[in-house]
């Protein structure tokens, strides 16, 4: 009997309204593990070549891992994937909260949704039944309203949901899926894919628990982490426990070194940084801290505002990415407006990173005359205009006026505008750049470029944190890192360390485990062994990371996304207008060399980035060889 898993993958075809259960064998589970592993496999194997992201044949995959549902820190997460409406390529994103545990307790390891319902529906998944239910009365409602109505009509207050808001319904290309009320499966436009299927929500509940190979070991490791996370040298869980992400010390230090993106990455310091830190949020509006299920770190801010804008404590508080994307990136230092914009992103189901970058793009276009008040319905869409920022959130969500343009994401918006607007579009492969400056963290910038879904700040090492020997860096040596190096280093050694970190993160996304809980490589392998009974090793973890990265690469190549898209915006190769990087910028030749070196280290062709047949066979995905792009003709 397989342990740690339900052994069941739920398939739902919304077009035919049919429900089916697959039962993969144990070898499949060991090869792909869960989470990102499952997503990568099913996307490449089952999504037809060349379809539009909003085609009913696109698959929306909700995947759990062997850790999901365990009562231990960092274990209540899921991974969701689909073909992205932003990039037209591979996309996956992770989220926490309580929904992943509820889905595991319903008795499934994954849910694969395909087709399109003829009217709005939601999916009920429990350990008793699976039903497709009418959601016509939910269409147009916020995530909060959706959760409350579903709980009331099912008569189950503890029901957990993964839902979209109006942004997903309106096919905003960076709409996200919200686990519960404030845990975003944020990147890549997966909420828009869900909306394209007329699927408003998945509601989950159950009491099923998997059999574990060594429950005593799981209890022991849980106790150790719960008692010692604050002093664990691998992470910064103590500061997360106290204030979440965006602490003043980190943000102010970033301001000094050029890691405070402002004015759409045109400037990299911000006079009002001290006004928009996590410390300022909690001092002004904080009412507590919350956690995902069973996690003692409790890193989530709870805020409440009565005026000038009302913010409900149930909708969560802004974390670092939201604070900067909706603040300094847009030139805004009004903390109340940033907090309100964050609440609207959660209520409407919007990725706050792409949201802020898209608004910042609009502001820069406005200030350069590409957009005018005729385009913005009279709104002065200038940097620093907090009211305009909030108005634009509403316009994007409902695709009104200039919001209809910005809802397409910066890549498509720039293409539609022309007139040099592409210089202001801060994206990689269509996915907007997060709030970590690649001119400072140059190794992370490399990962932005080569990662299958584009600019993902959770896919690589944050160079500034690994400039000296530390337990954290020593931990990465277990995945193949070399030695500490300066943040702006792009040597072959830095590439090797970034590759190691990338594979580590893809393994985490397959387990599925939160990056904020400081488990070591050895401890996570031990957890997998204790859950499954397999003799799981760090070597297998590395191979799994390579397998996920390579399948994502193959998916993109099949969709016409080639090495030509493995790059950064031109802005990143020059200086900023002010701040610590006013004489900086990435050296393009060094960057190109780093990309090619990364390909070679991954077992991909150094010129084209196409995975070699030998590497695919080594990773156990020889079945995908037939989909390799044809080699270019010999001159």
The CATH number for 446's domain is: 1.10.599.10
- What pLDDT, in 10s, does the model give residues 223-255? 999 998 888 888 888 899 999 999 999 999 999
In a domain? residue 524: no
- Domain boundary (155, 183, 205) is at 205
In a domain, 55, yes or no: yes
Q: Would you give the DSSP letter of residue 400? A: -
Pair (187, 261) in one structural domain: no
The pLDDT of residue 630 is 66
Backbone angles phi, psi at 286, to 5 degrees: -70, 140
CA atoms within 13 A on the CB side of 395: 22
Which CATH number goes with the domain that contains 272? 1.10.569.10
Q: Show the domain range for 568.
A: 442-517+537-626
Report if residue 635 sits inside a domain. Answer: no
Residue 411 in this model has a pLDDT that exceeds 90: yes
Let me know if residue 484 belongs to a domain.
Answer: yes
User: Could you tell me if 357 and 497 lie in one domain?
Assistant: no
Distance of CA 198 to the CA centre of its chain: 22
CB 339 within 8 A of CB 281: yes
Q: Which residues contact 129 (CB under 8 A, 6 or more apart)?
A: none
| Residue 346 included in any domain | yes
Identify the CA nearest to 466 among candidates 491, 447, 490, 441.
441
Q: Looking at the domain assignment, is residue 528 inside a domain?
A: no
Number of independent structural domains in the chain? 3
Rounded Cα distance, 46 and 58, in Å: 9
533: left (phi over 0), alpha (psi -120 to 50) or beta: left
Tens digit of pLDDT for each residue in 519-559?
999 999 999 999 999 999 999 999 999 999 999 999 999 99
- Assess whether 410 and 512 both reside in one domain: no
pTM equals 0.97
Strands of 183-185's sheet, edge to edge?
A: 130-134, 121-126, 199-205, 160-163, 177-179, 183-185
* Alpha-carbon distances of 189 from 164, 329, 403, rounded to whole Å: 11, 21, 16
Report pLDDT digits (tens) over 552-578.
999 999 999 999 999 999 999 999 998
Band (468; pLDDT cuts 50, 70, 90):
confident
pLDDT at 634 over 90: no
Residues 419 and 449 both lie in one domain = no
- pLDDT score at 157: 82
Give me the pLDDT at residue 635, please. 46
pLDDT digits (tens, 9 = 90+) for 330-380: 999 999 999 999 999 999 999 999 999 999 999 999 999 999 999 999 999
Bond before 512 cis per omega within 30 degrees = yes
Confidence band for 628, pLDDT divided at 50, 70 and 90: confident
Q: Does residue 622 surpass a pLDDT of 60?
A: yes
Q: By the 8 A CB rule, do 315 and 343 touch?
A: yes
The residue from 425, 452, 473 where one domain ends is 425
Model pLDDT, residue 62: 98
Three-state DSSP at 55 gives: coil
Tell me what the mean pLDDT of segment 50-57 comes to.
98
The reply to whether 454 and 414 lie within a common domain is no
Residues 106 and 180 in one domain: yes
Residue 259 to residue 252: CA distance in whole angstroms: 9
Q: Name residues whose C-beta falls within 8 Å of residue 201's C-beta, 6 or more positions apart in sequence.
A: 122, 123, 135, 138, 146, 150, 161, 162, 163, 164
Are 283 and 395 contained in the same domain? yes
If asked whether residues 286 and 374 sit together in one domain, one would say: yes
Residue 1 binned pLDDT confidence (cut-offs 50, 70, 90)? confident
With respect to residue 408, please indicate whether it lies within any of the assigned structural domains: yes
In a domain, 344, yes or no: yes
Measured on CA atoms in the order 191, 195, 200, 202, is the torsion positive or negative? negative
Among the listed ranges 84-93, 162-171, 319-328, 622-631, which one has the minimum average pLDDT value?
A: 622-631
CATH at residue 167: 3.60.9.10
- Answer with the one of 205, 234, 257 that is the final residue of a domain: 205
| Same domain membership, residue 136 and residue 107 | yes
Three-state DSSP at 90 gives strand
Task: Answer yes or no: do 280 and 252 share one domain.
Answer: yes
Same domain, 458 and 356: no
The yes-or-no verdict on residue 216 having pLDDT over 50 is yes
For residue 234, the SS3 value is coil
- The pLDDT, as a whole number, for residue 158 is 86
Q: What percent of the chain has pLDDT over 70?
A: 99
Q: Are 57 and 139 in a shared domain?
A: yes
Q: Name residues whose C-beta falls within 8 Å of residue 220's C-beta, 6 or more positions apart in sequence.
A: none
């Amino acid at each position: 009997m397989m342990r740690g898993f339900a052994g069941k993958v739920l398939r739902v075809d919304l077009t035919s309204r049919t429900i089916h259960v697959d039962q993969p064998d144990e070898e499949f589970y060991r090869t792909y593990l869960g989470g990102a592993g499952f997503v990568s496999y099913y996307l490449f194997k089952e999504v037809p070549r060349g379809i539009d992201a909003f085609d009913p044949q696109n698959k929306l995959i909700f995947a759990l891992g062997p850790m999901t549902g365990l009562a231990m820190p960092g274990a209540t997460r899921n991974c969701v994937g689909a073909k992205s409406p932003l990039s037209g390529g591979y996309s996956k994103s992770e989220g926490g909260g309580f929904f992943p545990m509820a889905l595991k307790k319903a008795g499934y390891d994954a849910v694969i949704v395909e087709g399109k319902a003829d009217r709005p529906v939601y999916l009920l998944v429990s350990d008793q039944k699976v039903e497709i239910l009418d959601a016509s009365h939910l269409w147009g409602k916020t995530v909060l309203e959706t959760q409350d109505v579903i709980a009331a009509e099912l008569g189950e207050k503890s029901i957990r949901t993964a839902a979209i808001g109006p942004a997903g319904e309106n096919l905003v290309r960076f709409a996200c899926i919200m686990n519960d009320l404030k845990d975003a499966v944020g990147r890549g436009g997966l909420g828009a894919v869900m909306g394209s299927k007329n699927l408003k929500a998945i509601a989950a509940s159950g009491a099923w628990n998997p059999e574990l190979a060594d429950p005593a070991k799981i209890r022991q490791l849980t106790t150790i982490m719960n008692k010692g996370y604050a002093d664990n040298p691998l992470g910064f869980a103590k500061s997360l426990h106290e204030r979440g992400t965006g602490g003043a010390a980190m943000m102010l230090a970033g301001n000094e070194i050029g890691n405070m993106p402002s004015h759409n990455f045109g400037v990299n310091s911000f006079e009002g940084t001290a006004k928009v830190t996590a410390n300022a949020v909690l001092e002004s509006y904080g009412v507590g801290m919350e956690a995902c299920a069973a996690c003692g770190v409790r890193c989530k801010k709870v805020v409440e505002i009565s005026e000038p804008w009302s913010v409900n404590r149930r909708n969560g508080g802004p974390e670092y990415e939201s604070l900067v994307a909706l603040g300094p990136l847009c030139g805004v230092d009004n903390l109340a407006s940033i907090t309100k914009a964050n609440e609207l992103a959660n209520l409407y189901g919007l990725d706050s990173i792409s949201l802020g970058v898209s608004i910042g793009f609009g502001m820069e276009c406005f200030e350069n005359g590409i957009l005018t008040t005729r385009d913005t319905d009279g709104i002065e869409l200038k940097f620093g205009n907090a009211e305009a920022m909030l108005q634009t959130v509403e316009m994007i969500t409902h695709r009104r006026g200039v919001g209809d343009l910005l809802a397409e994401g910066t890549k498509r918006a720039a293409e539609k505008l022309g007139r040099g607007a592409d210089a202001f579009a801060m994206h990689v492969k269509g996915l907007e750049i997060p709030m970590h400056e690649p001119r400072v963290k140059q190794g992370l910038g490399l990962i932005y470029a080569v990662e299958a879904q584009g600019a993902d700040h959770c896919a690589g090492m944050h160079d500034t944190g690994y400039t000296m020997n530390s337990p954290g860096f020593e931990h990465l040596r277990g995945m193949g890192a070399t030695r500490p190096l300066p943040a702006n280093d792009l040597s072959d050694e830095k590439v090797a360390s970034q590759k190691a970190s990338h594979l580590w993160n893809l393994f985490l996304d397959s387990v599925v485990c939160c990056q904020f809980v400081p488990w070591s490589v050895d401890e996570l392998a031990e957890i997998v062994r204790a859950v499954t009974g397999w003799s799981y090793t760090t070597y297998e973890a590395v191979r799994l990371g390579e397998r996920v990265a390579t399948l994502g690469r193959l998916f993109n190549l099949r969709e016409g996304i080639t090495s030509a898209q493995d790059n950064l915006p031109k802005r990143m190769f020059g200086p900023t207008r002010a701040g610590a990087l006013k004489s900086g910028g990435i050296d393009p030749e060094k960057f190109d060399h780093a990309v090619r070196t990364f390909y070679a280290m991954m077992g991909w062709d150094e010129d084209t980035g196409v995975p070699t047949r030998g590497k695919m066979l080594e990773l156990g995905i020889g079945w995908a060889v037939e989909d390799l792009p044809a080699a270019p003709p010999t001159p």
